[in-house]
Amino acid sequence: MNRDPSFVHQFLRTFSLPDQDGQTTLEPAETTSCDTLHIGNEEYPRYTNEFWTAKQRQASKLQEISYRACFKPQLPRFFISLLTRPGEVVYDPFTGRGTTTVEAALLGRQVISNDINPLSRILTEPRLNLPEYEDIRARLYSIPDSADISCEIDLSMFYHPDTLRALCSIRSYLLEKEKTGDSDAT
């Protein structure tokens, strides 16, 4: 998209959502209103319109992480696509659960993110640094399947004995990696 300020201004002024048939109408009641905000000695345009609908806000539950003050990924995607190009930097100063950061990365932007809450890093980093399938496979095959491992809770009514032993082995392995500080993305 052209990022010339006059083009972006015109795009936002005439923006209209498609109707049920995918047709866009530009009737005055459906276009963007624009006024000016005065902050200090600066003036900023303020655009008011319905830029996305409830239908557009629907997303898979797999994308959602419960976190205070979050928004759907379609919102940052709309503005990142409108205002930046692939390869450019998107700065997310209040990362939260990482919605903007992840969307920017998915759109091929370079990302700088920041948040005072350490939980933000825990929620965001694994979604940006996915391990390769072969690395996961190799790691799983490297975990010893110990016959002498027992689980703290009896789950035999839910799992076959071999499956339960494998799950307990994986749990033991992961707890040991965490204890020794040897955890990684795989």
pTM: 0.56
**Confidence tier at 48 by pLDDT (50, 70, 90):** confident
**How many Cβ atoms are within 10 Å of 145's Cβ, its own excluded?**
13
Backbone phi and psi for residue 33, each to the nearest 5 degrees, phi listed first: -95, 150
Give the per-residue pLDDT at 64. Answer: 60
144: alpha, beta or left? (left if phi > 0; alpha if psi -120 to 50): beta
Give Dmax over CA atoms of the chain in angstroms. Answer: 74
Q: pLDDT: is 108 or 51 the higher one?
A: 108
In the beta sheet, which residues pair with residue 18?
A: 24
Residue 104 burial by Cβ neighbours in a 10 Å radius (0-12, 13-18, 19+)? buried
For the CA atoms of 99, 128, 143, 179, the dihedral, rounded to the nearest 10 degrees, stands at -70
Q: Is the pLDDT of residue 36 over 70?
A: yes
Q: Is the pLDDT of residue 60 over 50?
A: no
Give the per-residue pLDDT at 89. Answer: 96
The most confident of the ranges 14-28, 31-45, 102-116, 168-182 is 102-116
Q: pLDDT: is 14 or 181 the higher one?
A: 181
- Token pair, residue 59, equals 């997303």
Q: Is the pLDDT of residue 26 over 70?
A: no
Q: pLDDT: is 30 or 173 the higher one?
A: 173
pLDDT in tens, 115-153: 999 989 988 888 888 889 999 999 888 888 877 787 888
**CA-CA distance, 103 to 117, in Å (whole number)?**
20
- Average of pLDDT values for 32-52? 80
Give the per-residue pLDDT at 56. Answer: 56
DSSP per position, the chain: ----HHHHHHHHHH---B-TTS-B---GGGSPEEEEEEETTEEEEEEES--S-HHHH---GGG----TT---THHHHHHHHHH--TTSEEEESS-TTSHHHHHHHHTT-EEEE--SSHHHHHHHHHHHSPPPHHHHHHHHHHS---TT---SS--TTTS-HHHHHHHHHHHHHHHHHHHTT-----
Q: How many residues does the chain have?
A: 186
Q: What is the mean pLDDT of the chain?
A: 81
Q: Is the pLDDT of residue 17 over 60?
A: yes
Give the per-residue pLDDT at 20. Answer: 63
